Amino acid sequence: MDGKPGLRERKKQRTHAAISDAAITLFLEHGFNQVSVAQVAEAAEVSKRTLFAYFPTKEDLVVHRLADHETELARVVRARPPGTAPLTAVREHFLEGLRERDPITGLNDHPQVRRLHRMILDAPSLMARMERFKTGAERALAQALRETADTPELTARLAAVQIVAVHWALAQDNAERLAYGEPADKRHAGAVADAAHAFALLENGLRHLPPRQ
């Protein structure tokens, strides 16, 4: 079908990859804030202007790799088998991610991934970018809920923000622990237990939070 992307298209893809690779390499080696976009452009043998034609901001040089995951929860909810509740689908998907050490769960300890996570955790501008990411995930998930669970607008939005917030909190907790040394295999059991607890809380609500005595 796409056997002929055309030279122009192929070259664009190669340039895109070259810039991204140069950026990641330099950032991992010297730190995100220590490397300027001019240096990245030079390393990728491209002008600064061209770099910004491919990546709108410096942060995107890092975050574009996660772009697919922005709609991941929405896709999971849409693809759930008949009879399955949205939350069940999300929970199972997350547990599977933990098993497979999917980086999105924070439970991948390959050195590259660990350094990448540490880099993001340490750079405020990258964390800010991740928040925008969360916002996109909320919107996509809300729409999926509306369309596949016959849920009113407000309920869908509220459920979406809760699910995304919890999902992110779990992943971030894992990533933080692994970023500074804890091995994934050692963390796995705890991560599963935490996820089970978190999704139970999400399902059953906060009404059991202890009152002031």
Partner DNA sequence: GAGTAAATGTATACCAGGTGCAGAAATCCT
Partner DNA sequence: AGGATTTCTGCACCTGGTATACATTTACTC
Q: Which is nearer to DNA, 36 or 155 (CB)?
A: 36
Residues shown for the chain: 213
**100 exposure class (CB count in 10 Å sphere: 0-12, 13-18, 19+):** exposed
Q: Which of 19, 195 has the CB closer to a second copy? A: 195
Task: Give me the half-sphere count of Cα atoms (radius 13 Å) on the Cβ side of residue 132.
Answer: 11
Separation between Cα atoms, residue 19 and residue 114, nearest integer Å:
21
Q: Which residues bind a second copy (CB under 8 A)?
A: 80-88, 124, 128, 131-132, 135, 145, 148-151, 154-155, 157-159, 161-166, 168-169, 173, 194, 197-198, 201-207, 209-213
Q: Binding mask 46-65 vs DNA (x if CB under 7 A, - otherwise)?
A: xxxxx-xxx-xxxx------
The binder of DNA chosen from 1, 2, 3, 6 (CB under 7 A): 6
Applying CB under 7 A, the span of 33-41, 104-112, 157-165, 199-207 interacting with DNA comes to 33-41
Nearer to a second copy, 38 or 196 (CB): 196
Contact, 74 vs 167, CB < 8 A? no
**Which residue number, 15 or 162, has a Cβ lying nearer to DNA?**
15
Judged by the rule CB under 7 A, the positions of this chain that interact with DNA are 6-9, 11-12, 15, 35-38, 45-50, 52-54, 56-59
